[in-house]
Structure 1
């Protein structure tokens, strides 16, 4: 694959956003402009890459001691000295994530660090089981085949669907879909179109909870956009990739080596990382900005990218009274976070059944949302499992509580997750837990009804201050990790224009549904209301 990512993806209808023309090295006149990127998650790393490749001197400041943000990884050491890999939780790298994959090719040009899963089945409390194996890739046959072979969806259910109410689902146009549906929650929307309850719990609810929220608190527009990205808007297919290594080793170490290496062809700028440092505030100056950390140290910058998580962004802006105008500051202050979630990783003294998938999604099996058997695909987990004749299993519980609960409640959740694992994979019930880590986090952006219109975008009242992250508004059909990567590249492009620099080409799934008839029906229906 070539470095500009043009060969990433197979869908001939994917949308292309050509790079703006300009200089390939904005420092070729003798002075390199200096940018500070706050946050080394996907968005910050994409912004840093985009700027460095056009001649910026980039300083990346990260609060944690690892890169990757919510896709971060690190090494833990047990009391006996055993060192094991740990991540923030499972992530699926879909083929539709063009701009994220473009970023990863900088450190791994052939994307050898990713491997394609064979399947990821879904199961509910009644034992219904869906699979994505062998589905056609081309819309609408992919969605139709998935529905008709599902045990929770029958031909009669298809005939009872309210076609007029459901038209926006099949005729997504971004950002128009947000004007149509962002005032409605996903649960109400699916009820109004007569989508069968069992199928909703097993299929759509799994997608909704990937936003770390219940369907009742998720925007119907976000759900429709996700359906467009993965089903009706793309022919990339529904099977995703996973990382072959712990995230720090497989994803971010190669990228960091690329960004910090000297004299890399096509990357005239330099990048320096400062981890374990918290930014306190950003102060506009006559020459640009001063970025002040919590020790009082100050770094000068010609441009700043704020790519922190929602809480971090709100805190920095609140502590920087000279930034922005009142309207923009209110937008930032009103950004919300999704409920708290938990990641529970176990190192067991025996293997799980050979027929267990690497990833299993669940519906209505509270509090469990999915099970990952990491030794099926991750090298460090595989090595540990082989050496100890065991297995490494990870359990996720999304939208557990509005706030991280007290210790007793956390222990209760851990016990309930373990009980679910034993129910679904009975061979683990007698296993001894040799090691375990439970992570509680609440740092994912909220996508509730009405949030889209109030969300700040990449640009700000300061031309050389930009935002990036998966909680930042972008009028393109992207979600989750891909939204983070896309806003990072756009943030870089926005700054590059001001120095006459060439931009970076981007790609997304098509911006609207493939059926002109359905788009016309959906548009006409909305106009009549």
Structure 2
């Protein structure tokens, strides 16, 4: 117990950092959020730019789907929008491949496993006989997912090889599973099969929400983060944007931390590092954290105190340094002087149409884009190209220019009405700061806890042994980081909610577990 009001610094103002700041501030902790960018939200942030004619427009890092299973993210957003009125539902998530085959998630039953079975049976890439050809023993882990147990089973296998072993039809692999794999910014050949199986559990066999999702009705800043900033400011949270944190120093005498920023330093009792993977690697590598004893025991008895030994600290540093970033991705937002056909979906996922991964028609759901389209008679379209690694020996600028050209060509082929439209404005994001969930990475992925008491981690690249992914992993680790610090100060934490950690349909789960046991030597 400190005997006074604790002070904490949260480094990173994305989803994870804002969740941690909320969890701490609501229990009376004095919180300061330090964010490198001039805006909040991290990879779900937005800012204002201008079209060539001077019109101010919102720009961001690309489309994000707010799935109904993102319980902990939604709890965070309710702080600024109690009724989640700024989220609007999209009634479908259609997929299309190079052969013109289309899948849809509209009208699926909500009860697992029938949601997954019906999706497969009505897919043009999956014939009824294909179900009988599947290898039940190879496919068993999909039906018997448990977290973290699934990582012991499948983390050493890549997603592509796993699906080939199951004998999924190649077209089904490309149209369904590859689309979801690439939403993790990685091709299936480099992504852990355990992550793919966990994702299948989250969206199908582990929940009744399916793949229906919501999107903000305005820019991320207006719809999500400014309301949350207001909520937190009224609870005493201080925000310093445009601040780059270089390192954290632990005073082993007082047990307090000094957070070194490029404009000023901050002295606090605890630190949450909620940065992206490159930022986390750099900060940890530059930080002086010593080998101080744990100041607050992880259990209520003093006898349970542990010491952060030099070896433990070195191993942790090595694990942070080993975190990998996914290949770069491209976001290309186009303001066209002609409308997209009215029957086009707000969001379309693509498979086998390299390099394009999806198309969003923003004026179908975002107020500012809709206003611009109504005023000009045009449309606002966004194209994504995930896992777009630059080939060796290729100039990066030339590569991104080629990607933009090829993505527009795919758009014209899929939506021919756009081929003759003039591009009034184009804004592009080319980034490489998403975590890679690669083969064999799980065992040494850093967790929320660290060897240094009072220092915790949060973010979508941080390990948490719950069935969560993407934005929900960021939110969940943020809440958990706050809970770890609050427990040390004798303060109440916040509940976390997830889909069940194991399959919900008992007979299928037991059959799958039997199949898994029978395949062991």
TM-score (norm 2): 0.93
Distance 2:364 2:437 in 1: 32
Deviation of residue 237 (structure 1)? 2.5
Are 1:380 and 2:346 an aligned pair?
A: no
Q: Which residue of 1 aligns with 2:418?
A: 428
Asked if 2 retains the 8 angstrom alpha-carbon contact of 1:137 and 1:238, the reply is no
Q: Which residue of 1 aligns with 2:356?
A: 368
State the Cα deviation string for residues 123-166 of structure 1 (Å, max 9, x = none): 00000000111111110111011110100001110000111111
Q: Which residue of 1 aligns with 2:166?
A: 193
Deviation of residue 298 (structure 1)? 1.4
Spell out the pairing of 1:99-178 with structure 2 (5 A cutoff). 99-178=72-151
Deviation of residue 322 (structure 1)? 2.8
Asked if 1 retains the 8 angstrom alpha-carbon contact of 2:247 and 2:286, the reply is yes
| Change in CA separation of 1:526 and 1:326 when aligned onto 2, cut-off 3 Å | farther
Deviation of residue 405 (structure 1)? 5.5
Q: Which residue of 1 aligns with 2:296?
A: none
State the Cα deviation string for residues 158-187 of structure 1 (Å, max 9, x = none): 000111111110110000000000000000
Asked if 1 retains the 8 angstrom alpha-carbon contact of 2:329 and 2:430, the reply is yes
Match of 2:63 among 53, 74, 90: 90
Are 1:180 and 2:153 an aligned pair?
A: yes
Q: CA RMSD in A?
A: 1.5
Deviation of residue 517 (structure 1)? 4.0
Are 1:294 and 2:262 an aligned pair?
A: yes
Distance 1:155 1:471 in 2: 38
Deviation of residue 37 (structure 1)? 0.2
Q: Which residue of 2 aligns with 1:4?
A: none
Asked if 1 retains the 8 angstrom alpha-carbon contact of 2:113 and 2:505, the reply is no
Deviation of residue 524 (structure 1)? 4.7
Are 1:67 and 2:33 an aligned pair?
A: no
Asked if 2 retains the 8 angstrom alpha-carbon contact of 1:171 and 1:514, the reply is no
| Change in CA separation of 1:311 and 1:199 when aligned onto 2, cut-off 3 Å | same
Distance 1:111 1:177 in 2: 33
Deviation of residue 80 (structure 1)? 2.9
TM-score (norm 1): 0.91
Distance 1:410 1:291 in 2: 37
Q: Which residue of 1 aligns with 2:213?
A: 240
Match of 1:275 among 217, 235, 241: 241
Q: Which residue of 1 aligns with 2:485?
A: 495
| Change in CA separation of 1:405 and 1:182 when aligned onto 2, cut-off 3 Å | farther
Structure 2 unaligned spans of 5+:
292-312
Asked if 2 retains the 8 angstrom alpha-carbon contact of 1:282 and 1:323, the reply is no
Distance 2:472 2:498 in 1: 9
Asked if 2 retains the 8 angstrom alpha-carbon contact of 1:167 and 1:518, the reply is no
Distance 2:7 2:127 in 1: 59
Distance 2:507 2:380 in 1: 49
Asked if 1 retains the 8 angstrom alpha-carbon contact of 2:19 and 2:478, the reply is yes
Structure 1 unaligned spans of 5+:
1-25, 262-268
Distance 1:302 1:395 in 2: 44
Please give the secondary structure, in 1, of the residue aligned with 2:363.
Answer: helix
Deviation of residue 521 (structure 1)? 4.4
Match of 1:444 among 420, 424, 434: 434
Deviation of residue 101 (structure 1)? 0.2
State the Cα deviation string for residues 271-326 of structure 1 (Å, max 9, x = none): 0111111001000012410000134x211010000000000000000111435711
Asked if 1 retains the 8 angstrom alpha-carbon contact of 2:52 and 2:425, the reply is no
Q: Which residue of 1 aligns with 2:306?
A: none
Distance 1:467 1:389 in 2: 47
